[in-house]
Amino acid sequence: MTPWTDWAARGLASLAGVVVLVELARALPLAGNLKHLAAAGRKSLKVVSSRQISDHWKEKVLPRYAGGILGDSLLNLLYLLILAGGFSLAFCLVGMWLLGGWSGAAGELLAPSTQIIACVLGVAYALGRAKLSRPKAEQAQASDYDLGSKLLHHLALDSNLVRKAAFDLDCSLSQRRDAPPPAGPPVYVAGLARAGTTILLEALYASRGFATLTYRDMPFVIAPGLWKSLSAGSRQSARLKERAHKDRLLVNYDSPESFEEVFWLTFDRKGYVRDDRLEPHKPPREVLLNYRRYVANVIAKDGKGRPLRYLAKNNNNLLRIAGLKRAFPQAVILVPFRNPQDHAKSLMAQHQRFLALHREDPFSLRYMNWLGHHEFGANLKPFAFGDEALPAGPAEREDFSYWVRYWRCVYAFLLEQHADQVVLFDYDRLCEQPAVVLEELAPVLGVERARLEPFLAKIQPSTRHQHPPVDPAVLAAARQVHAKLRQRALGA
């Protein structure tokens, strides 16, 4: 390596480190805590130097100030360690490819020349970042993922080591919280994508009786309590906007979303993820024990001293229904379904939409891989519920008959293997008779009907599609499965 390439390599690694450091500094309430510490110090000095305050009163009040100052100091030390750790990890991850592996990058980390480069780049980036900052209302309409956010997502989601370490730390912190026990068994919403899972998730979450993951928990969704504590001083608000699916569903930071899969990828990826498919998943006992801890952490994050129930939307949970029942025998697993032709057309349309998005924005593809979203797009991985569930090749993914056939394979498998373990839910009927269906659903989930009523206005008629030509035999088989689903569904 020539001197110039060596400097360039250290510069790129340092740039990655300072971007993560600055973004973490913006996310952590370090500045506010420093101001609080300084104010406490001034108050204590004022008390000590005052001649109007008796020594007796000083002896009472000064230990309180000292305790507050010690607590703020320790908290700031933690923030500084996080900043240093974020810089070091990002530097070494990039340096692995540029500076001779992990050991070579670690060796260059503390070199004086590297520190000088980092300081110069850090000041430049921080100034540029501050200059480009915009009012929150404007930020809400801008891209959610600038350079700093992307690097922070890389740091939090791309390394299994980081995810496991964050989970362990969150578990340690959760044990110290005086969290009440769950208010009842978990509720899972798990269906083939585009089955109405998101609207059901939002309806249940709006009842205010559940804890779940939201966009505020990104990117450290594996450590929700820890991240909530660290980012509390920099909470942002944003207007509702349509999500990437362009399906009329509006989201913001407080919207619930399907992030739970990060846990399963962290602890048992090899148990079900293959290059071209997702196989039925049988999590081992130790993974299920960790999962119970993870559920408790999510509840503790939102509980605030009041008992809540765990709620999750995760389409991939169709792969592990038996495992969820082993972890929580009383859990309610709600599986929505739709008319096979409408459902298949929606799946194919989203597949085409995300293929284009992944071509235009490589980060969106990495993002979906990190979260385990393989429903459509360039990272499509169908559920391997029989050989017919898998496309014969890339060309068949553009064939409407394949998506109808895939629909039939998924729901036929559920009927054969798990009909007695799940609650089948007719989403088309919900759109036609929302008040009636929610009244039927409330007692099954153990939720008061009145808590679901405010969401009625958000339930819209199901989109009707023009259906492409389909193999008559494939359609007939799908319609038979659909008829059986309706016979076994809630309210039938």
Which of these, 445, 485, 189, 439, lies nearest to 335 by C-alpha position? 189
Determine the Cα angle at 60 with ends 56 and 61, to 5°.
115
What DSSP designation does 278 have?
B
For 17, the 3-state DSSP assignment is: helix
CA dist 14 and 237 (Å) reads 31
241 to each of 180, 206, 249, 314, 350, how far by Cα in Å?
Answer: 34, 18, 8, 22, 18
The whole-angstrom separation of Cα 492 and Cα 481 is 15
Cα–Cα distance for residue pair 301/309, rounded to 1 Å: 12
Q: What residues contact 381, with CB distance under 8 A and at least 6 apart?
A: 273, 274, 276, 277, 278, 374
Q: What ranges do the domains of the chain cover?
A: 3-135, 180-488
Contact between residue 163 and residue 222 where contact means Cβ atoms under 8 Å apart: yes
Whether 345 contacts 467, CB under 8 Å: yes
Residues 180-488, CATH architecture? 3-Layer(aba) Sandwich (3.40)
- The model carries a pTM of 0.73
DSSP bridge pairs for 251? 241
Per-residue pLDDT of the chain (492 residues; tens, 9 = 90+): 556 566 667 777 887 887 888 778 777 777 667 777 777 777 777 766 776 677 666 676 667 777 777 777 888 788 888 888 888 888 888 777 777 777 777 878 777 777 777 776 766 666 566 554 443 333 333 345 666 677 678 778 888 888 888 888 888 877 666 666 788 899 999 999 999 898 899 889 988 899 999 988 888 899 998 888 777 655 555 555 555 555 455 656 678 888 999 999 999 999 999 999 999 999 999 999 999 999 999 998 887 767 899 999 999 999 999 999 999 999 999 999 999 999 999 999 999 999 999 999 888 899 999 999 999 899 999 999 988 999 988 889 999 999 999 999 999 999 999 999 999 999 999 988 988 998 999 999 999 888 888 777 777 776 666 788 999 999 999 999 999 999 999 987
